Amino acid sequence: RQYRNLVHFFVEDWFISAMLGIITAILSIIIDLGIEYLTHYRIELFHWAKHQSIYSGFVMWLSYITGLVWLAAVVCYVFGKQAVGSGIPEVKVIIHGFTMKNYLSLKTLIAKMVGLTFTIGSGLPVGKEGPFVHIGAIVASLLNKATSACQYNAFFSNEGRTMEMLSIGCAVGIACTFSAPMGAVLYGIESTSKYFAVKNYWRSFFATTCSAMIFRFAIAFIVPQHFAGTITAYYQTNFPNEVFVVEELPFFILLGTATGLLGALFIWYHRRISLFKKRNRVFKAMFGKSPLVFTTLIAALFAILSYPDGLGMYIAGKMTFRETLVDFLSNCTFSLSNISSNGCPQELIAHWTSSHLGADFHPLYTLTAYFCVYFLLIPICITLFIPTGVFVPCFVLGACGGRIVGEILSMWWPEGLRGLGHPQIYPGLYAVVGAASFTGSVTHSLSIALIVCETTGQLCALLPVLIALMVSNAICAFMQPSIYESIIKINNLPYLADLPPSRMSVHTMKVERIMVKDLVFITRETTYRELREILLESPGLRSYPFVTDKKSMTLLGSVGRKYLVYLVQRKLGPEPEFVSHRRRS
Amino acid sequence: RQYRNLVHFFVEDWFISAMLGIITAILSIIIDLGIEYLTHYRIELFHWAKHQSIYSGFVMWLSYITGLVWLAAVVCYVFGKQAVGSGIPEVKVIIHGFTMKNYLSLKTLIAKMVGLTFTIGSGLPVGKEGPFVHIGAIVASLLNKATSACQYNAFFSNEGRTMEMLSIGCAVGIACTFSAPMGAVLYGIESTSKYFAVKNYWRSFFATTCSAMIFRFAIAFIVPQHFAGTITAYYQTNFPNEVFVVEELPFFILLGTATGLLGALFIWYHRRISLFKKRNRVFKAMFGKSPLVFTTLIAALFAILSYPDGLGMYIAGKMTFRETLVDFLSNCTFSLSNISSNGCPQELIAHWTSSHLGADFHPLYTLTAYFCVYFLLIPICITLFIPTGVFVPCFVLGACGGRIVGEILSMWWPEGLRGLGHPQIYPGLYAVVGAASFTGSVTHSLSIALIVCETTGQLCALLPVLIALMVSNAICAFMQPSIYESIIKINNLPYLADLPPSRMSVHTMKVERIMVKDLVFITRETTYRELREILLESPGLRSYPFVTDKKSMTLLGSVGRKYLVYLVQRKLGPEPEFVSHRRRS
């Protein structure tokens, strides 16, 4: 008995958490390597084809992207449409206690993994964190089932425990997307739970620590060195510790305000698109039958927009999110290149001036074009019939927006706010702040502050990040629900609404104001004639309250309309009017 | 109405949180400055007196320390003994719903602040974080009362809201002790709540962000530059990003094991001392009347032990915790000084070799002496009649232990585990890991991982910290309760125990096994003679169950012993035996 206890203890507390972290980390590494190879061959094949002729280059680019996206969509179509989309809204719904069929099955896991690899490998502007939360949750659920033999059945297999495992799974999913074991725990709590048992959260910690260790081992021993950077989303920044002066704080508040408004706009725009796709007749007539067509079409549109030698030269179309993010967060100033030692190196600037194509744009214009195009494109891509994450695209968009603000500020004050000898303005810091506050506003999460610090490996940006995040979050939360809640509402998933805050006038409202007062009811004294009239007057009701008498109105029970109709028809003869009325269902 | 709503909204959500952060931060800065001046004059006066004669130096050192500690104890004695001790256990108890009289009053706030300043200013090895959590909680409670006019009374002034404010207060208290706004939020949750409403935690974030901003402003504009470092416990480390190799992970696990065991020993030892002080007759006869005598005596003992020209030369007695911590966390190796560029500068080494006094100890011996002396001394100091924190002393002790391990390892492998050309062993990293895992094991908290990263300003140590912390926490939690729970039990504070985990055999136990079976009861048919016998047989009971009859045993009610005694005495005459028995109270 004591021995069995010990086994249970280890399986329940340590083993499952560790395995969850380890398995999800391994899956993440496999997917990352797959994505890396696919994006690598995208560029390779494109250059090879371009070498043949300029047209075959374009065709190759177009067909590679649309082909991969089509494949991803086909995988989702065949294996189950549960793999479509972010996954976070669904996991949220499941954790709140509703059952969603097949959402946590092995089949969905495979579909999600394969689909995700193809989608992101194609270069489409979507992220992997949502699908990874879903994958983590599936692994958690499968592990829970697999180890149920080692669990105390009587006390152990309770629902709360399953939910907790799912929550850990989410945390691990985020920990695998970003190299942020602590921030992931917080994000997992924040995005999935409403109430949270503190004594359980060490399991999340343990699981994410295990997955962080796996990543570390993989980098040291297994993965080839030139891939080491690609399996962890880790963007080491090298800001000095005095990266901002107090005078800059108002700019961070302004940046927070702007990202908050843009975040609300983003969510609103995404909802418009989703509802358009659901309701517009023309759209439904064209693409209603199969979601594959529209998905492929958008992929083709993206391929055209990002074609490196065509329109893509205005938006750095050749680069993946990971590469642009490195540029945005880099500790140098685009506009100070060639002038000061703070300027960026030429090869970095070249990404944004397209100088290798003979053009010479100002990086600020390219950045703005990048921001606008992706701001319009990302919400559409998110609604496609493929696994898509919202978090990473928002992160990149926010970083781009922050970089733009930072570059403008550093053009105005090239020597910093306090002049020479004091800290300059670091546009990279603004990119970090922008990324955090935009993502925070779209997803309504605060843990992003920690995630962004862990991802950049520096904490000196924490205060500006927190300030901007607070502001943007407050603004966006005031105007729109979070993107995940928005998706839940759009898809009509079951969901418990929050209680309105106690200051709302809702709490002072009385039932009186919303209740129906002119009731239809039957008393003991109701005659058949009265009954007939009642039935004719209220064709929409399915059942009728039955009370003692008009005065005391004591409820005795209710009786279904169909019994009353039957009664009246038997007593007073058939009456076609009863039948013709459609019942409210 | 809408306008009032808006006012409520701002007061309730934003204003209180912001004010809480701001006021606590200001209090913290005031206390820090006071402490800084006091420790500054300690050294100044000592040097001045030493200049007069060697004896007057000793007398000055002794009288300064004992004098300040005596003053602190007097303040606590006069203003209220609620200010004594850490404060975290009491706040924990209050948040769990028990009322503790006067613990959240303005008087206690003042006593705590003044007492804390004197105590830490004297150099006694205690910390400020526990008292600061208490101060934060008091400020929260006072603010809550002050703004209650602006609150919706009907819905707003609920108990949960007050508890939440207290929890925010705790977070702010920690945020003021360490410059760790994010870690403080986590610590506040972890150390005070059992269940936690996620939608409320942005208030903690907002409050700690406000206090971090106040600190930043104070450093930039108000506080003189040479004090800037003293008001924030911020120890910037400068490790490279590749601060450890994967092969070192086993050492971190070992370090975690060691600190876990030591943490358990620390808690056990502290409990022994507390109980000894409470129970030992000799001790009570000597110091029982006034706690001031013992407190002053221990202060004198500490003064003698730390006297810089005497015993203090073996344990760097002149230095405050803040100064030793800087040495422990410094990015250099003590033992490699004069040999390699990784060695520490001579002035740093001099602290530990006492070379300015003509001695030349090996730093390793001084470090070990420091560790042992403080390990024995700190638990005693914590039980004194002054405001004392546990967290900071444990942090320093852990850093010292980690530094010892790191120095030994770097003596074994002076060129790192992989040899030249690869990362060396950084003893500073081991100090960081040791600090986090020892503090984590003593307080049973995981948020310390984040706090230690924020305090050192670097995240590269996160993985080793997390691993060691997990191990030490698991070991210590298995052997001992946390220091706060231990204090709660020692002081017999009301407290709800945790439910035992579901794997425990407790859950399979039936009531049968613990219930009393041979009941004493009165039936309808009980005669006076039987009643008299029952009363004589069970002198300890205060009331008797009254049942229908022996067979059905249906409980009808209960009747107090005194009524039965009265009845029997009236009917059967006075019976001295009833009176002589003492009732169980």
DSSP characters for A508-554? G--HHHHS--S---B-TT--HHHHHHHHHH-TT-SEEEEES-TTT--
Q: Do A5 and B505 touch (CB under 8 A)?
A: yes
DSSP strand pairing (B195-197 vs A555-560): unpaired
User: Which chain A positions have a beta carbon within 8 Å of B212's beta carbon?
Assistant: 462-463, 466
DSSP secondary structure letters along A182-214:
HHHHHHHHHHH-SEEEGGGHHHHHHHHHHHHHH
More confident residue, A220 or B257: B257
Which positions in chain A touch B8 (Cβ < 8 Å)? 503
Instruction: Give the closest residue to B433 by CA, choosing from B239, B192, B170.
Output: B239
Q: Is the pLDDT of residue A337 over 70?
A: no
Verify whether the Cβ–Cβ distance A196 to B199 is below 8 Å. no
Residue B546 has φ and ψ, to the nearest 5°, of: -120, 115
Contacts of B311 (CB under 8 A, 6+ apart): B304, B305, B317
Identify the CATH number of the domain defined by range B246-282+293-490.
Answer: 1.10.3080.10
Contact A442, A482 (CB under 8 A): yes
| Beta-bridge partners for A387 | A85
* Nearest CA-CA partner of B120 in B316, B351, B387: B387
Residue written as token pair 């009301």: B494
Superfamily of domain covering A2-231:
Clc chloride channel (1.10.3080.10)
Two structure tokens written together for B355: 């070379």
CB B344 within 8 A of CB B332: yes
Question: What is the location of CATH 1.10.3080.10 in chain B?
Answer: 2-224, 246-282+293-490
Q: How far is B458 from chain A (nearest CA, A)?
A: 6
What residues of chain A, 443 to 482, have a C-beta less than 8 Å from chain B? 446, 449-450, 453-454, 457-460, 462-463, 466-467, 470, 473
Q: pLDDT of A248-259, one tens digit each?
A: 889 999 999 999
What string of H, E and C letters represents the secondary structure of A152-168? Answer: CHHHHCCHHHHHHHHHH
> What share of residues in chain B are helix, strand, coil (percent, to 5)?
70, 5, 25
From first to last of its 585 residues, chain B has per-residue pLDDT tens of 567 666 766 766 788 888 999 999 999 989 988 998 898 888 889 889 988 888 888 898 999 999 999 999 999 888 878 888 888 888 888 888 788 888 888 899 999 999 999 999 988 888 888 899 999 999 998 888 887 766 555 444 556 677 788 888 888 988 888 878 888 888 888 877 777 777 677 888 889 989 988 888 887 777 776 666 666 667 777 787 778 888 888 999 999 999 999 999 999 999 999 999 888 888 888 887 778 888 999 999 999 888 888 888 888 878 888 888 888 888 888 877 666 677 788 878 888 887 777 777 888 888 999 999 999 999 999 988 899 888 889 999 999 999 999 999 988 888 777 877 777 888 889 999 999 999 999 998 888 998 888 888 888 888 899 999 999 998 998 888 889 889 988 888 887 766 665 555 666 677 887 788 788 888 888 888 888 888 888 877 888 888 888 888 888 888 888 888 888 888 887 777 765 454 443
Q: Give the bridge partners for A127, in sequence order.
A: A389
Whether residue A584 is predicted with pLDDT greater than 50 in this model: the reply is no
Closest Cβ–Cβ partner in A196, A206, A216 for B195: A196
- For strands B543-547 and B555-560, give the pairing: antiparallel
**Nearest of A450, A406, A3 to residue A183 by alpha carbon:** A450
Angle in degrees, 0-180, between the axes of helices A106-122 and A129-146, rounded to the nearest 10 = 160
Mutate to test the interface with A, among B8, B164, B182 (most CBs of A within 10 A): B182
d(CA B490, CA B421): 54
Task: Please give the class, per CATH, of domain A246-490.
Answer: mainly alpha
Taking the CA atoms of chain A, what radius of gyration do you get in angstroms?
29
Q: What gap in Å lies between CA A177 and CA A212, rounded to an integer?
A: 11
DSSP string, B260-316: HHHHHHHHHHHHHHHHHHHH-HHHHHHHSS-HHHHHHHHHHHHHHHH-TTTGGGGTT
Q: Which helix (H) or strand (E) holds B544?
A: strand B543-547
Report yes or no: B507 at the A interface, CB cutoff 8 Å.
yes
Task: Say how many Å lie between the first and final Cα of chain A, rounded.
Answer: 56
Tokens of B243: 């601060």
pLDDT in the model for residue B584? 44
Q: Which helix (H) or strand (E) holds B373?
A: helix B363-382
Chain B contact for A197 (CB, 8 A cutoff): yes
User: What is the distance between the alpha carbons of residues B91 and B100, in angstroms, rounded to a whole number?
Assistant: 9
Asked if A503 and B193 come within 8 Å (Cβ–Cβ), the reply is no
pLDDT of residue A462: 87
The closest CB to that of A449, out of B182, B199, B249, belongs to B182
Which of A466, A471, A509 is the best residue to mutate to test the B interface, defined by the most B CB atoms within 10 Å of its own CB?
Answer: A466
Quick: pLDDT tens for A450-460. Answer: 888 888 888 88
Using CA atoms, how far apart are residues A400 and A394, in angstroms rounded to an integer? Answer: 10
Q: Pick the residue from chain B with its C-alpha nearest to A197.
A: B195
Give the number of other CB atoms < 10 A from CB of residue A470: 23
pLDDT at A81: 81
Give pLDDT, residue B154. Answer: 46
**Residue A454's closest chain B neighbor by CA?**
B459
For A333, phi then psi, to 5°, come to -110, 125
Question: What is the Cα–Cα distance from B196 to A194, expressed in whole angstroms?
Answer: 8
> What distance in Å separates residue A246's CA from the closest CA in chain B?
7
CA distance A561 to B83: 71
Count of other CB atoms within 10 angstroms of residue A569? 15
Task: Give me chain A's average pLDDT, please.
Answer: 84
- Note whether B236 and B461 are within 8 A (CB): no
pLDDT at position B280 is 85
Q: What is the CATH number of domain B2-224?
A: 1.10.3080.10
**Residue A573, phi-psi category: left (phi > 0), alpha (psi -120 to 50), beta (remainder):** left
pLDDT of residue B503: 53
CA-to-CA distance for B223 and A417, rounded, in angstroms?
A: 21
Identity of the amino acid at B451: I
- Among A478, A509, A499, smallest CA distance to B154 is for A509
φ, ψ dihedrals at A535, nearest 5°: -65, -40
Q: Under a CB-based contact definition with an 8 Å cutoff, are residues A119 and A388 in contact? A: yes
Structure tokens, B46:
């000592």
First to last CA, chain B: 55
Question: To which residue do tokens 């089509």 refer?
Answer: A70
Gap between the Cα atoms of B531 and B111, Å rounded: 57
Instruction: Locate CATH 1.10.3080.10 in chain A.
Output: 2-231, 246-490
Single-letter amino acid, residue A427: P
Q: Please provide the size of chain B in residues.
A: 585
CB neighbours of B580 closer than 8 A, spacing ≥ 6? none
C-alpha B521/C-alpha B550 separation (Å) is 9
Scanning B211-250 for CB atoms below 8 A from A yields 212-213, 216-217, 220-221, 236, 241, 245-246, 249
Of the listed ranges A45-54, A311-320, A471-480, B573-582, the one predicted with least confidence: B573-582
d(CA B88, CA B100): 13
Contacts of B230 (CB under 8 A, 6+ apart): B32, B33, B35, B36, B322
Q: What is the pLDDT of residue B458?
A: 82
Under DSSP, the state recorded for A501 is: P
Do the chains contact at A155 and B503, CB–CB below 8 Å?
A: yes
Note the CATH number of domain B511-580: 3.10.580.10
Instruction: Give the three-class secondary structure for A319.
Output: coil
Q: Where are the alpha helices (DSSP H) in A307-426?
A: 321-329, 346-353, 363-382, 391-412
- With CB atoms and an 8 Å threshold, state whether B195 touches A195: yes
Chosen for mutation from A3, A182, A453, A463 (greatest number of chain B CBs closer than 10 Å) is: A182
Residue of B nearest to A206 (CA): B470
Tokens of B280: 């030992």
Cβ distance A155 to B453 less than 8 Å, yes or no, reads no
Mutate which of B417, B466, B510 to disrupt the A interface (most A C-beta within 10 Å)?
B466
Q: Give the 3-state secondary structure of A266-317.
A: HHHHHHHHHHHHHHCHHHHHHHCCCHHHHHHHHHHHHHHHHCCCCHHHHCCC
Q: With contacts defined as CB-CB under 8 Å, which chain A residues touch B195? A: 195-198
User: Minimal Cα–Cα distance from A345 to chain B, Å?
Assistant: 22
Contacts of B165 (CB under 8 A, 6+ apart): B16, B20, B140, B141, B143, B144
Please state at what angle helix A462-479 crosses helix A448-456, rounded to 10 degrees: 140
Q: What are the tokens at B328? A: 């422990």
ipTM here: 0.79
Task: Count the Cβ atoms, other than its own, within 10 Å of residue B382.
Answer: 25
Name every chain B residue with its beta carbon within 8 A of the beta carbon of A193.
198
Q: How far is B502 from chain A (nearest CA, A)?
A: 6
| Residue pointed to by tokens 């300029």 | A54
- Cβ-based burial of B341 (10 A; exposed 0-12, middle 13-18, buried ≥19): exposed
